[in-house]
Amino acid sequence: MKATIVTLPGDGIGPDVTAEAIRILSTVADLFGHQFSFESALIGGAAIDTTGTALPSATLDACRASDAVLLGAVGGPQWDAPDAVVRPEQGLLALRKGLCVFANLRPVRVADCLADRSTLRPEVVRGVDLVVVRELTGGMYFGDKSRGPGEGGQEAIDVCRYSTAEIERVARRAGQLARSRRGRLASVDKANVLETSRLWRETVTRVMAEEFPDLIVEHVLVDACAMHLIRNPGGFDVILTENLFGDILTDEAAMLAGSIGLLPSASLGAPGSPGLFEPIHGSAPTLAGRDLANPYGAILSAAMLLRHGLALDAEADAVERAVEQAWVTGFIPADLTDSSTAPYGTRAIGSAVAALLSEAATPATTAR
């Protein structure tokens, strides 16, 4: 297969981890006979410094014309001034909106060999295999914002808005995913307080009853969900939720796996349109360029790119198997090691995964 992949390394450790994800995709191309061409473009702080905007139109055009987009991370203290007019994060939000990737899949799978590295007890996290489907292009992230004089000082407003159609499309995506997994869906909202959540619950209830009667559906309030996630995470299969709740719950869920550095994501829109694939971690500016970043989230995002972006399931499986083997073999990055073991660096982990991938794909020559 021929595919054009736009890479957006971004800021901080973004370039470090993206390089390893590209290494893995190139290895896959060699082993499976594909032709991937990589086109790098600017986003975030790197784009602000060069062009004055966080998402140059050339970047959005290249992404729209591509088969898939691989992103590192955006942000950093040098662009964080409270009065800054452009912020790196705006580039990411504009890209999500511009590609119309409304469904953000964030899987959390706890590998047996890493179960004792979580801050939670191993018996709580062992066997966890859940996916959060986060609505990504609506809600408070994209509502009108304003600031002005108000009673007792200033007043700031962030509008949270959802339409039936926006809820329906992401609910369908979550329903299809739950059907391909263990058939359970927990829809998370705050319907006891918020009007948007009442529309959310009503719409999800209807879509599930009409189109997914085979699924076991429950509605969970977001505060209770935050609690159940660390009380009994094994009870969840697919969690469907709105943008802001999904942002918060996925950072929490990351700790089940031991570190946010391990978690990948896929942001998908209409079938046939390019998806956006990125680790869920931030730009960790203090680790940038020091060979310290955990590249697994980016590498697993590359696996999601193969599966969801290019429909290359066998290739995605191969990458995930190589990653798991790297964990079992002991290729553990700094964010998951205690002081008694020396961690592996970003590049060493990338080359170990590439080597394991090649070994598995090349049949061993039998000794005569």
Q: Considering the candidates 189, 190, 296, 344, report the single residue annotated as catalytic.
A: 190
What token pair was written down for 13? 């450790």
Task: Please identify which of the residues 30, 67, 158, 251 carries the catalytic annotation.
Answer: 251
89 binds, among ligand IPM, Mg ion, none (CB under 5 to 8 A by kind): ligand IPM
Residue 251 CB, nearest approach to Mg ion (Å): 6
Our finding on whether 284 is near ligand IPM (CB under 6 A) is no
Question: Which residues between 42 and 61 bind ligand IPM (CB under 6 A)?
Answer: none
Half-sphere exposure of 230 (CA within 13 A, CB side): 14
The smaller minimum CB distance to ligand IPM, of residues 280 and 334, is found at 280
Q: Which of 324, 308, 298, 267 is nearest to 106 (CA)?
A: 267
Q: How far is the CB of 286 from ligand IPM (least distance, A)?
A: 17
Closest residue (Cβ) to Mg ion? 247
Compute the chain's Rg from CA coordinates: 21
Q: DSSP for 194-254?
A: -HHHHHHHHHHHHHHHHH-TTSEEEEEEHHHHHHHHHH-GGG-SEEEE-HHHHHHHHHHHH
Amino acid residing at 169: R
- Asked if 268 interacts with ligand IPM (CB under 6 A), we say no
Q: Would you call 38 exposed, middle or buried from its count of C-beta atoms within 10 A (0-12, 13-18, 19+)?
A: middle
Quote the CA–CA distance of 267 and 274 in Å, as a whole number.
9
Answer with the entry of ligand IPM, Mg ion, none that 168 interacts with (C-beta below 5 to 8 A by kind): none
Q: How far is CA 217 from CA 186, 198, 199, 223, 236, in A?
A: 6, 16, 16, 18, 11
Is 247 tagged catalytic? Answer: yes
CA distance 316 to 304: 7
Q: Which of 189, 237, 242, 247 binds ligand IPM (CB under 6 A)?
A: 247
Site string for ligand IPM, 296-335 (x = CB under 6 A): ----------------------------------------
Neighbouring residues of 297: CB distance < 8 A, sequence distance ≥ 6: 17, 260, 261, 262, 263, 264, 279, 280, 281
Q: By C-beta, is 13 or 207 nearer to Mg ion?
A: 13
Q: Which of 141, 162, 296, 344 is catalytic?
A: 141
| Of 248 and 360, CB closest to Mg ion | 248
| Catalytic residue list contains 190 | yes
Nearer to ligand IPM, 247 or 335 (CB): 247
Q: Which does 92 bind (CB under 5 to 8 A by kind): Mg ion, ligand IPM, none?
A: ligand IPM
Q: Which is nearer to ligand IPM, 92 or 125 (CB)?
A: 92
- Please tell me the distance from the alpha carbon of residue 204 to that of residue 206, in angstroms, as a whole number: 5
Question: By three-state DSSP, how is residue 29 classified?
Answer: helix
CB of 280 to Mg ion, least distance (A): 6
Give me the residues that bind Mg ion (CB under 5 A), please.
Answer: 247
Query: Strand 35-40 vs strand 2-10: parallel, antiparallel, or unpaired?
Result: parallel
- Restricted to residues 95-154, the positions that interact with ligand IPM (CB under 6 A) are none
Binding partner at 249 among Mg ion, ligand IPM, none, C-beta below 5 to 8 Å by kind: none
* Complex with ligand IPM: residue 72 or 309, whichever CB lies closer: 72
Give the one entry of ligand IPM, Mg ion, none that residue 211 binds, where binding means its C-beta sits below a cut-off of 5 to 8 angstroms depending on kind. Answer: none
Residue nearest to ligand IPM (CB): 89
**3 state DSSP class of 180:** helix
| 89 near ligand IPM (CB under 6 A) | yes
Are residues 28 and 105 in contact, defined by beta-carbon separation less than 8 angstroms?
A: no
Q: Which of 61, 116, 223, 313 is catalytic?
A: 223
Instruction: Write out the residues near ligand IPM by the rule CB under 6 A.
Output: 75, 89, 92, 247, 280
What amino acid positions are annotated as catalytic residues? 141, 190, 223, 247, 251
